[in-house]
Structure 1
């Protein structure tokens, strides 16, 4: 079984990891800065939430159209181009006095490019890390992302104030994109996808949507991606941390602790799943997905703060079933279709998170926050059980969709 030292011993992984980590920190600072900037100008919580939602939802539309580029051109070129474009958008957002409609448009434009970058990066990772090292590397990336989120949520506001205001933080985000582009350009091989010739497809729309058809047309791939998207229901604690704290009488000082609890648990969980051996990955994925909702259901009565923090952290730990599901999903895909399929899955996950947050907020208008959290979690656990049945039936099929697709193409 590969270890962390062996994975970090791969120079190209270090490049991908460093580029992603510093860019993720910039993203978190930008989210905090954006929220502060919009709220300062409008004094509207609704508009602030709307702009925040714009950082999550657009990829569901753009991913099927853009992710295919990661299977047509050098994945290094795709990542560098996206980072340069996002740096330009982030730089424009940092201009003082930028009108809010233009600011929102820039947020949408920058967010729309995210699935293309994610598709190229995640499709490159299995080429950089072969065998057991891929699962360990994905766990490291997930754990690092979680740490960046914790740091962003807990210290983002202080950093924005210390830096001199939201505009400075937004400019810093632009710099992180440029640093990422430089690291990837000079620290990564081109990584051309298998079967790609660098020539645009004759039917671009059909080529782009092939990833969607591939995933939807195979029960096993669809079951795995559904498990990944199910994670959106387990984000209710982050969405309702403030009203939950008020419900249990913990005060505003507890909000940051509650928001960080499940993320901290996910960091620990991501580190632990890197030690899971291949035969156990399939066996543990769905049981962990079912179990991830149970600690949140247990908070239905609004227990005291220490109990809630422990249960939410446990849920975050169990929710790292996503890492196992992502490893299996990626290993099912041939290299020439990996970018499109992963781009579709990543965009769906990001959008599912946005929908999960909106659903939790809507339920909290109708019932106590603790009950809303429990309801979302119960729906997640039930959904995982239903997906389990789909995956069991898929075992009796004729093989992964990718193999069937290749066979049809070879006989065409």
Structure 2
């Protein structure tokens, strides 16, 4: 008798995912909001610098965009489990549109703009948690991974397009009109969600709803009390190592620029390298690797996200640096598998809180990584700092890969069973 052959795993296609109306609605709304946000970031930076003439003030306001999600995210994300997720998303979009519209009023005091920025970013925590928790209800099985890959690629594309077009648009419209345009994107996003996402009841049913503090504690207990979930969270937060180079792209560009390629051009190339790799990696990983294969490859891909950065210690030319950073971005596609595995391990009624906690840690990891990288680059120079980030990240990724190998067997079997059903 011949050997028993394992049934091939079915992989979802981009076409069948895009054909789902509710997913298209979330996808369009996300792309619209992201494009507006990138435009607003450039407009805000221009506006703050015009008012203060201070690079420190400009950087401080940019850093302010990290703080609300780190501080408020773990508490407000629970709203996505406490109330209907569609309603949370619409309310957050309308409130953010209103706040940004106030920012667009010419002559608004600087301190008022800072307060408004804080609350605009704060509201993104429950919105993101609600959308992340809703997506697995719309897309099941491997469709969720493909949909996540599409959203990931959209994020990166909108970032590149927003930053590239932002300067030209602001030069013609002015920063206040650009902020007004961002306010309009939030309102359009709310309308799109109203028309395209069906009503669902709140995930937490029952007349007595727990307090936000109790929900936050319960979410932390769930996420960090389970070894498998804890490992997946650490995989997500590994990005603090491999996003560090983007935070010191300008000093790195200074060391590589010449007469033919000035600093702004080199900076743009460096900052576009990792997002380009991420788009490429997300496409290849979701399209050509089987669902269970992604779980097996996750550790190796995580190591790939950090290992190429070590090559920067050799002070290579720009072309080689770009290749190394693109490869790092390709490795970052492991986040798709980590995200899908996390969804499967968390009960549906607690996904909002769980996603909020992970997202807050993600923002903190990126912010702290960039801050440490900037301080270290002043003393050591950008190349050694990027290489050290690569070494540190590779070490952590290797440990996580070993831990994951021991704990993924049950999850792999479940994923394989779903994919062959």
What interval of TM-score do these two structures reach, taking the shorter chain for normalisation?
A: over 0.9
In the alignment, does 2:19 pair up with 1:6?
Answer: no
Q: Deviations over 1:254-302 (max 9, x none)?
A: 1111111111111111111222211112111111111111111111232
1:228-307, aligned counterparts within 5 Å?
228-250=236-258, 251-252=262-263, 253-275=265-287, 276-307=289-320
Contact 1:248 1:303 in 2 (8 A): no
1:10-49, aligned counterparts within 5 Å?
10-49=20-59
| Residue 344 of structure 1: aligned partner | 357
**Distance in structure 1 (CA, Å) of the matches to 2:409 and 2:30:** 39
Question: Structure 1 residues 396 and 134, CA, compared in 2 at 3 Å: closer, same or farther?
Answer: closer
**With structure 2 as the length reference, what TM-score do the two structures score?**
0.90
Contact 2:274 2:329 in 1 (8 A): yes
Q: Deviations over 1:277-335 (max 9, x none)?
A: 11112111111111111111111232111111111111111111111111111111111
Q: Give unmatched runs, 5+ long, in structure 2.
A: 1-10, 412-421
| Residue 194 of structure 2: aligned partner | 185
Question: Structure 1 residues 397 and 273, CA, compared in 2 at 3 Å: closer, same or farther?
Answer: closer
Q: Give unmatched runs, 5+ long, in structure 1.
A: 399-412
Give 3-state SS (helix, strand or coil) of 1:196's partner: coil
Question: Structure 1 residues 200 and 298, CA, compared in 2 at 3 Å: closer, same or farther?
Answer: farther
**Distance in structure 2 (CA, Å) of the matches to 1:36 and 1:286:** 41
Q: Report the CA distance between 1:149 and its aligned residue.
A: 0.9
In the alignment, does 2:386 pair up with 1:376?
Answer: no
**Distance in structure 2 (CA, Å) of the matches to 1:233 and 1:46:** 24
| Residue 407 of structure 1: aligned partner | none
Q: How many residues get paired?
A: 397
Which of 165, 174, 190 is the equivalent residue of 1:165?
Answer: 174
Q: Deviations over 1:29-64 (max 9, x none)?
A: 111111111111111111111111111232122122
**Distance in structure 2 (CA, Å) of the matches to 1:318 and 1:396:** 22
| Residue 408 of structure 1: aligned partner | none
Which of 208, 219, 227 is the equivalent residue of 1:219?
Answer: 227
Contact 2:79 2:88 in 1 (8 A): yes
Q: Deviations over 1:224-267 (max 9, x none)?
A: 11111111221122111111111123431211111111111111
| Residue 75 of structure 2: aligned partner | 65
Question: Structure 1 residues 200 and 84, CA, compared in 2 at 3 Å: closer, same or farther?
Answer: farther
Contact 1:72 1:200 in 2 (8 A): no
Aligned CA-pair RMSD: 1.8
Contact 1:193 1:335 in 2 (8 A): no
Give 3-state SS (helix, strand or coil) of 2:59's partner: helix
Q: Report the CA distance between 1:66 and its aligned residue.
A: 0.8
Q: Report the CA distance between 1:210 and its aligned residue.
A: 1.8
Contact 1:248 1:302 in 2 (8 A): no
Give 3-state SS (helix, strand or coil) of 1:208's partner: helix
Q: Deviations over 1:381-407 (max 9, x none)?
A: 111122234434545999xxxxxxxxx
| Residue 3 of structure 2: aligned partner | none
| Residue 95 of structure 2: aligned partner | 85
| Residue 142 of structure 1: aligned partner | 152
**Distance in structure 1 (CA, Å) of the matches to 2:401 and 2:200:** 35
**Distance in structure 2 (CA, Å) of the matches to 1:38 and 1:31:** 11
Q: Report the CA distance between 1:6 and its aligned residue.
A: 0.3
Question: Structure 1 residues 271 and 192, CA, compared in 2 at 3 Å: closer, same or farther?
Answer: farther
Give 3-state SS (helix, strand or coil) of 2:312's partner: coil
Q: Deviations over 1:69-117 (max 9, x none)?
A: 1112111000000111111111111111221111111111111111211
Q: Report the CA distance between 1:155 and its aligned residue.
A: 2.4
Q: Report the CA distance between 1:193 and its aligned residue.
A: 4.5
Contact 1:219 1:391 in 2 (8 A): no
Contact 2:241 2:369 in 1 (8 A): yes
